[in-house]
Structure 1
């Protein structure tokens, strides 16, 4: 499992014009090859009158399902350059279709490569790309004397507090990046003189989106 990865939270659409040809890039988050192929069919129907609907998708933590197509453009001038942008931006679980309406002027192989690459970049710029991190939810049980120290540790390290429960004791759920779990446990144990109970609750991915912590299964 990746400790963190970039992916598309909300797809978008970007467009460029190159020598009268329109290039429309539509970006969509996908979790399976079936979803990617369904999205591709949807775009082909939407832009049925276009000369080309070139595409790329890359799915899986090891990019198990990665395909690209020139859809009638000269070999290597569309699909591969589109894939190179996705790989260069290090984005996972994404599909992109670039639709071309031919403007009557030939662009040449170099011009096509640049146009398809730029279109994908515009599409990604119009999308919401997030960083998903793998985290462990730590359930901390403490008395009220230890509360301030735990809050200080969480604030200092920018650790999201998922939940807090105040009764005769305090139970807090902290979402800690997986690589920091050991050091956070040590800091809390030392900071509370070993009085805080710490247990691992669950493992999940999370991202900070518009200032809010959103959790994901994967």
Structure 2
């Protein structure tokens, strides 16, 4: 099950006089990641590289920022993938210490920087949600409320018109069973208005 982290975590490595300053933090999209990277560049004007990796669905990215291709961003992204993370940005600011590390040394340094930072991370599972909406006759309102409460669904809106309209969301893995139970209990009097794709 994919996870994210609750708060930023940091780690610093010194390898052959080069400083690797790592941060891993929650991040939903590339625009936010680019702002963070721009802030790091401004905050570390003497740094040689600000490499980063973002794991956020279709907006994922791996940036070497002048390091030899494939030695920084991609290894950092691999660490995030290996730990089954989602919605997470890893950044490493490097101050060059005058001694070249070689491709293998760079891969190890960037990998270790991110992996060490993640040792301090508090991870939380990402529970996919499904949004549903239905209408029901007034006599079924109590039943609907009890069923939604029993599965831990969150009510988004309740509308009282000629019938009662409910919009709610609940964990994806509980949605199908709830719909089936309500259809049976309501004897076909509950009308489903829409069902959207699951989201996080």
Query: Which TM-score applies when normalising by structure 1?
Result: 0.63
Which of 191, 196, 200 in structure 2 is aligned with 1:203? 196
Shift of 1:82: 0.3
Match of 2:12 in 1: 16
How many residues are paired up?
Answer: 197
Kindly indicate whether the alpha-carbon contact (under 8 Å) linking 1:25 and 1:98 is maintained by their aligned counterparts in 2: yes
Measure, in 2, the Cα distance between the counterparts of 1:30 and 1:182: 28
Structure 2 unaligned runs (5+)? none
Kindly indicate whether the alpha-carbon contact (under 8 Å) linking 1:136 and 1:175 is maintained by their aligned counterparts in 2: yes
Match of 1:142 in 2: 137
Measure, in 1, the Cα distance between the counterparts of 2:25 and 2:90: 5
Q: Please, which moves more after superposition, 22-31 or 189-198?
A: 22-31
Which of 179, 182, 189 in structure 2 is aligned with 1:185? 179
- Structure 2 counterparts to residues 141-180 of structure 1, below 5 A: 141-144=136-139, 146-165=140-159, 170-176=164-170
Structure 1 pair 156/141, CA: closer, same or farther in 2 (3 Å)? same
Deviations 1:167-197 (A, max 9, x none): 7864322214567654432211211233333
Q: Please, which moves more after superposition, 13-22 or 38-47?
A: 13-22
Kindly indicate whether the alpha-carbon contact (under 8 Å) linking 2:134 and 2:166 is maintained by their aligned counterparts in 1: yes
Q: Secondary structure at the match of 2:147?
A: helix
- Structure 2 counterparts to residues 102-141 of structure 1, below 5 A: 112-121=106-115, 122=117, 131=126, 133=128, 135-141=130-136
Which of 35, 53, 58 in structure 2 is aligned with 1:56? 53
Query: Which TM-score applies when normalising by structure 2?
Result: 0.67
CA RMSD for the aligned pairs?
4.1
Shift of 1:136: 2.6
Q: Secondary structure at the match of 2:153?
A: coil
- Structure 2 counterparts to residues 65-84 of structure 1, below 5 A: 66-69=61-64, 71-72=66-67, 76-84=70-78
Shift of 1:134: 5.1
Measure, in 2, the Cα distance between the counterparts of 1:124 and 1:41: 26
Structure 1 pair 89/45, CA: closer, same or farther in 2 (3 Å)? same
Deviations 1:27-65 (A, max 9, x none): 462534x6544543332222111243222235553x6x6
Structure 1 pair 30/103, CA: closer, same or farther in 2 (3 Å)? same
Q: Secondary structure at the match of 1:87?
A: helix
